[in-house]
Structure 1
């Protein structure tokens, strides 16, 4: 009997690229926050060595692959699965592979892979060559593959085709749906490191109630008092003393593909270990006669010249040219629009400034600043005229900080502060000058009584100038706390995590919106997990070194009550703060009222480029608004994001209904803006500006000295020493600097806006690829434009008295501490 000529087998050649796990990989040590965690990491390292020996010398040929058809289905309607082929993966990274592929199998659209080896490997890609009737097919994988026994379902990867759910080839529908089910899991059990399950939980792992009662922390999320975005669920055992809290065991699960890759992980750990030198400060004090306090500003400058053996810090950019420029009023106000927290000031539209705090709980918090006090320095302009002409602005932390002052000022860890308001005046030359600072304290009679407020005015001579410098210091302490806890942590890191979870649970890897958003999620869940372990946890770095102490994350939950997703986009933010007005004739659709506003001016260039790219992309895949409403995966994604991921705010009226292409474009643009440019603006200037602690102190230890007191006499005699005793002590400064130096650095393999780790293979569709290339070219043009702006000396806010140009929104960067560059994602 002759074989059927129409069903003959043929060989399809492919190339597999993978990276085997380094036997000395140190990922297992990155989460060690205790001796027990370190021991566990060492055990994992030894286990890795044993597994390496077994894999290399005993089980070298133990990786199997099978192709799945996208055009030919079996009797059940699922794509036909081809014959298995095996790989010998010992000692190399690129492998030739040959598949038997019957002629009636059609065109491959996915493949199964099974790892029988002891150790996991990182699968980069599979490329099939000369597929009959098709040509080359690329599979972009970028995923960790563990031993097959660890999985309940087979590992599957899809070709780089892009399909809306309704357009998926029928033989692939089942595989697309099953993969999403796998990623959703069943919501039970403690997650293991090899799993890929994305699920939600509240922030109930910040405290350690089983260790000490003082280390218990408020659960954030799931309540109206303390709403919060959801984090990734780990499923760890509940704490014994508080069953609603999760125990902390050193290991924090995140889906395996959310982990840093080898190179970045190694660099991060290396920097983190250097930063951990803070734990040895006590020993250094003993061995080196280490002084716990700075006595003069020159002592601080010497600190960057290796004053302490083994602890060296680069000289922050803010003092590289002018060491005293930070003390000027012009620099104080310039950093409100060109510093590390440049998007908080608002235009003052009524006088006096009022409060939204409940007067029955906190008294009347209306500002006590008078018009007469302001008009002393307004160049003959009245308050009414300045408000009408849009020349008065305010940096207002009264409502956010005041409710916590009684608690902060009563604790015995030498932390005392104020709630502050600062009114500033826009001058004819485009720069700002401060007019008055209001410092508010709780009434000794109780919080329900009106606060005690003192007003401080600019001064340049005598003890009054020292008082004024301290007043500005208290403002910056408020600003530093708000920046780190709200602008940085809450409004970028925390709010993006639910988007990552919802995307992976409901948008298939072949969905166009998954492909659009994927670069902007890289490493975010990982860095957030690390932050919960060592930065924002009970007695973590933030609690130790910032004014809010143990109330730090609680404050961010209170502020989250007023978070509005649609206002996170730059144009809406500028309009809401009153620093811009709509202008259809402008290239960006609005006009800045502060013409020389570096963050806003540069940001609008980036925002417009992002939106143009997203618009072109969305219109390619969605030909009508009806396609949006009919997209089952997109609708499921958005519904769960709103109702679960940001579920504490689900009843807000501002959420997009996600029924039109315009809504989808705006939502994706906002999300990409948050993850890329907004995070870059508030993160990578932390050390360049804040590494010089005099410029950005994080907490205060004393209140303003009163006339006749010993502190006032000290201030009159030696203002530098008095200032240094007010800001954090040297040990806290060391702790803070070691961390923000790491957080301000770019890794050598960082992916910047306009780049993709997959190169040209991220999709097979040519038009989106060409649009993305245009996006990259546009960003390069924008960078040239921003450089030209910084060379324009008439724009004084762009470099200021410290001669430090505003570069935080330059799209590109080299590795290291550069104070520039917009990574695709919140990756550090």
Structure 2
């Protein structure tokens, strides 16, 4: 592979007339098999005008490429039959390179490729990113092997023994979690600002299968009543009913899953505290409601079972499905239906980088039925994994993917110290303003949206292949107005960047200390109170091998690579029009300003919320 930075201008002495396309032919360099990466070609005409032809593709020796000028155009604006024909040919080639595949029935479809090398080179990892990923993975696996920990099925003898596993420099958040993991304050805080801030919702009426009484919670409410606090909007619920009936993984070792209900109280000091936990959906004498007033170890074990359920739902639903798999759908639809000269392609291109490769790697490393992480080390592995993924897919709604709508639906507008909401809403608005500016510059009117057949095919594939043609999702099947197009594109960019950062970046910070985020539990949930002690908890927690393998995976998946492109960084020069270029600059300024505000706030917090600082948000699902 040949890669060298070369900057030349093609200068023509004679007038070329209207430039409609450029053909690039590659000859062998030094030896057959070499190829080169073409960023862009600039043509200076005798009239003194410069015409940009973006490429950003690998060119194989002996091959040819046809490039279009940088100015964005819709198909209905093209009048030259040569350009129309080439535009159609380019999409046909892309559709041949990126075919859909049914990975599992009932799930969003994926790219039809088994390995990263099956993808065209321009959508694969860069050399530096591939080296970073392989080096980190090799380092983690080498540590497990040299310490003889990977296959160790013994239980931990104490928390202090577990603490000795990680000797390298620890983050502030990791250390905070290690010290406070068993406290109610951190347990409740994580529903707002941990790695899954999507479960909690305001509770105005208790579910019928969660028979919490006033007597149970009177000590937690300190003189108030449950009914009063529900009316005041201070009671919240996390319901894991989607896990109901799923059996814990039995591959290698028996593990256990629960489907808890958690009641929380946002107290006058602004703390979100748990006040009742029921570990299974059906109430009964063998499914007690655990309370803060119970014996210390009874209450702690109940919280551990909730955190294990949280691992299953976070990793499978809110992380894998709602960011990785949906981003893959958006990537596929973009590559298959929008030619490079389409304004929306240019807008979305930074947000599809590396997504196909990281998802192929995830399917091979994490989801494989033979060697995948989940089948070996997680309670939600085995037969329960596809079942949960299908349930999660069936529960997808458009509004749940749009942050302002989602916050409103869950009744969380007024909850204090909800930094995910605060930072995420500001980022949503910044992205929305940028998207609106770019799209209104090109489309001009609703009529142009309706006339854009490539756009309509783009959303049709997203609806059909990503959301399985389900009307209940609320996903549009076509676009008739600018307003709805702008919102949808904002959601696409937000999902691939901000939302992924919120559920990915803190995985090791919050999950590296295993008792706070156990991948599976080795004993069934307690059916009576008063029978738990520290030894019981250690017997229930994952064994040594499960723990260290999970730590290694979480470390690899949440470590920023050197090839990191933060939100608002435009590596490729795709637009040359004055308006979108100015909008990109303003977008970057808005993100920088927000980053400063977040840093200023975090300086006052005991546990800073850094995941949605724009500097820490990747442009795409790249990890």
TM-score, length basis structure 2? 0.93
Distance of aligned partners of 1:181 and 1:783 in 2 relative to their CA distance in 1, 3 Å threshold: same
Please list the CA deviations of residues 562-608 of structure 1 after superposition, one character each: whole Å capped at 9, or x if unmatched. Answer: 101233010011112121xxxxxxxxxxxx22032111011111111
Instruction: Identify the match of residue 620 of structure 1 among 406, 426, 441.
Output: 441
Instruction: Supply the distance in 2 between the matched residues of 1:318 and 1:545 (Cα, whole angstroms).
Output: 24
Q: 1:305-337 CA distances to partner (integer Å, 9 max, x unpaired)?
A: 2xxxxxxx5435334357422211001100110
Number of the residue aligned with 2:98: 198
Residue 119 of structure 1 and its aligned partner are, at CA, apart by 2.0
User: Residue 746 of structure 1 aligns with which residue?
Assistant: 560
Quote the residue 2:577 is aligned against.
765
1: distance between equivalents of 2:46 and 2:467? 47
Matches of 2:474 and 2:421, distance apart in 1 = 27
8 A Cα contact 2:12 2:44, kept in partner: no
Compared CA separation, residues 566 and 133, structure 1 to 2 (3 A):
farther
Shift in alpha-carbon separation, 1:394–1:645, aligned structure 2, 3 A:
closer
- Equivalents in 2 of 1:109, 1:503: separation in Å? 21
Which of the numbers 107, 112, 115 marks the counterpart of 2:24?
Answer: 112
Structure 1 residues 375, 260: closer, same or farther in 2, change over 3 A?
same
The separation in 1 between residues aligned to 2:45 and 2:11, in whole angstroms, is: 11
2:490 to 669, 672, 681: 669
Structure 2 CA distance for partners of 1:322 and 1:472, relative to 1, 3 Å:
closer
What are the within-5 Å matches in structure 2 for residues 31-70 of structure 1?
none
The 1:453/1:706 distance shift into structure 2, 3 A limit, reads closer
RCO greater where, 1 or 2, for CA within 8 Å and sep 6 or more? 2
Q: Which moved more, 1:421-430 or 1:373-382?
A: 373-382
- Corresponding residue for residue 723 of structure 1: 537
Shift of 1:270: 1.0
Q: CA deviation at 1:409?
A: 7.4
Structure 1 residue 159 and structure 2 residue 69: aligned? yes
Residues 177 and 484 of structure 1, relative CA distance in 2, 3 Å threshold: same
Distance across 2 between alignment mates of 1:507 and 1:147: 26
Quick one: distance in 1 between partners of 2:239 and 2:569? 38
Look up the match of 1:458. Answer: 292
Which residue does the alignment assign to 2:380? 548
8 Å Cα contact 1:319/1:325 also seen in 2: no
1:424 paired to 2:272: no
Aligned residue number for residue 263 of structure 1? 128
Aligned mates of 1:502, 1:480 — CA distance in 2: 30
CA radius of gyration, larger in: 1
User: Aligned-residue CA RMSD in angstroms?
Assistant: 2.6
Secondary structure of the residue that 1:415 maps to in structure 2? coil
Q: What does residue 514 of structure 2 align with?
A: 693
Pick the structure with more strand per residue. Answer: 1
Q: Are 1:303 and 2:165 matched, yes or no? A: yes
Structure 1 residues 284 and 726, CA, compared in 2 at 3 Å: closer, same or farther?
closer
Residue aligned with 1:549, SS? coil
| Partner SS state of residue 612, structure 2 | coil
Runs (5+) with no aligned partner, structure 1 = 1-18, 22-91, 186-196, 204-219, 222-226, 235-247, 306-312, 355-365, 444-449, 580-591, 793-798, 813-820
Deviation track 1:668-690 (CA, whole Å, cap 9, x = no partner) reads: 00011100000000000001111
- In structure 2, relative to structure 1, the CA distance for the partners of 1:315 and 1:726 (3 Å cut) is farther
Cα separation, 2, equivalents of 1:180 and 1:764: 22
What's the counterpart of residue 593 of structure 1? 414
Distance 1:412 1:751, change over 3 A: closer
- TM superposition shift of 1:376: 3.3
Give the alignment of 1:129-168 within 5 angstroms: 129-133=43-47, 135-148=49-62, 154-168=64-78
Secondary structure at the counterpart of residue 20 of structure 1: coil
Contact 2:156 2:538 (C-alpha < 8 Å) held by counterparts: yes
- Partner residue, 1:69: none
* Structure 1 or 2: more helix by fraction: 2
Runs of 4+ residues deviating >6 angstroms: 409-412, 706-709
Structure 1 residues 535 and 122 mapped into 2: Cα distance closer, same or farther (>3 Å)?
farther
- The answer (yes or no) to whether the contact 1:440–1:452 under 8 Å persists in 2 is no
Aligned to 2:181, the other structure's residue is in SS state helix
2:238 matches 1:395: yes
Distance 2:41 2:177 in 1: 55
Change (3 A) 1:409 1:753: closer
In structure 2, the residue corresponding to 1:327 is in which secondary structure?
coil
**Is 2:618 aligned against 1:776?**
no
Kept after mapping to 2: 8 A contact 1:202/1:231 = yes
1:561 matches 2:475? no
- 1:367 is paired with a residue of what secondary structure? coil
Shift of 1:442: 7.8
Cα distance in 2, alignment partners of residues 707 and 165 from structure 1: 68
Mapped partners of 1:780, 1:632: distance in 2: 36
